[in-house]
């Protein structure tokens, strides 16, 4: 396995489902799907975007978790502090965490009512305002392999590695993550040395042309 890139982030805003458990009844790692969205925010919009994230975005995703039948498990947005010398374009990353594959969007009428309830704006107005503050650079989908610890609260830091596996090494990596690394990081979390750890495989983009296989 080759570690190709490193990312350091600082959490600005986060929300978790009210019934979320980190104990034995917690969501299994392989059932976790995470949608990652990378943004570029210009300096003149930085304060406004981060305030929007802490208020409107947090309220919206919290309400989404409370919808009947929702499998949205958590959400957070973080400022990117370092991404290595090869790519410094994104300034922020948002993560939407699901218990199972991400669902489709709500019916238009339900979505419109939800936006107006939370923000007093319709979806088009909300997106227009948000798009004026940041540029969406790309979206990724990853699926859990193993995890340990709890959540990453606002104000916490995360070190992320993007890795490329050698051919036909995916099964070996999954086994090592679950049987070797997970117990080590679980012990570290229990001792208070770290908050959380995870290893996830890429669902999209994926394949020989994808830059990475593993998000850790």
Question: Does the structure show a pLDDT above 70 at 1?
Answer: no
The residue written with tokens 């859990």 in the block is 144
| CATH classification of the domain holding 115 | 3.30.70.100
Q: Is 198 helix (H, G, I), strand (E, B) or coil?
A: strand
Tens digits of residue pLDDT in 148-170: 887 778 889 998 888 888 888 88
- Measure the CA angle with vertex 206, ends 169 and 57; round to 5°: 120
Which residue, among 12, 20, 214, 45, has the nearest Cα to 135 in the 3D structure? 45
Which residue, among 117, 99, 80, has the nearest Cα to 16 in the 3D structure? 99
- Measure the CA angle with vertex 183, ends 78 and 156; round to 5°: 20
The token pair that represents 153 in the structure block = 């609260």
Q: What's the domain count of the chain?
A: 1
The reported pTM is 0.88
Structural domain containing residue 205: 2-215
Got the DSSP string for 35-53? EEEEEE--GGGHHHHHHHI
> Residue 171: is it exposed, middle or buried by C-beta count within 10 angstroms (0-12/13-18/19+)?
exposed
- Pick 92 or 13 by higher pLDDT: 92
Tens digits of residue pLDDT in 60-112: 899 888 888 888 888 999 999 887 665 568 999 999 999 898 887 667 788 78
């Amino acid at each position: 396995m080759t570690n190709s890139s490193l990312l350091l982030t600082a959490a600005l805003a986060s929300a978790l489902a009210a019934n979320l458990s980190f104990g034995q009844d917690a969501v299994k790692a392989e059932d976790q799907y995470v949608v990652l969205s990378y943004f570029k925010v210009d300096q003149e919009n930085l304060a406004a975007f981060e305030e929007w994230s802490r208020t409107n975005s947090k309220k919206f995703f919290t309400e989404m978790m409370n919808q009947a039948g929702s499998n949205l498990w958590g959400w957070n947005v973080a400022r990117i502090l370092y991404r290595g010398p090869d790519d410094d374009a994104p300034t922020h990353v948002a993560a939407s965490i699901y218990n199972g594959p991400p669902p489709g969007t709500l019916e238009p009428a339900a979505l419109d009512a939800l936006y107006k309830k939370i923000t007093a704006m319709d979806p088009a107005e909300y997106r227009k305002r948000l798009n004026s503050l940041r540029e969406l650079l790309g979206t990724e989908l990853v699926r859990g392999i193993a995890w340990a610890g709890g959540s990453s609260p606002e104000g916490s830091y995360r070190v992320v590695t993007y890795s490329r596996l050698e051919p036909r090494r995916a099964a070996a990596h999954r086994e090592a993550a679950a049987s070797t690394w997970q117990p080590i990081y679980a012990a570290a979390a229990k001792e208070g040395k770290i908050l959380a750890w995870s290893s996830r495989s890429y669902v999209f983009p994926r394949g020989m042309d994808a830059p990475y296989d593993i998000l850790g």
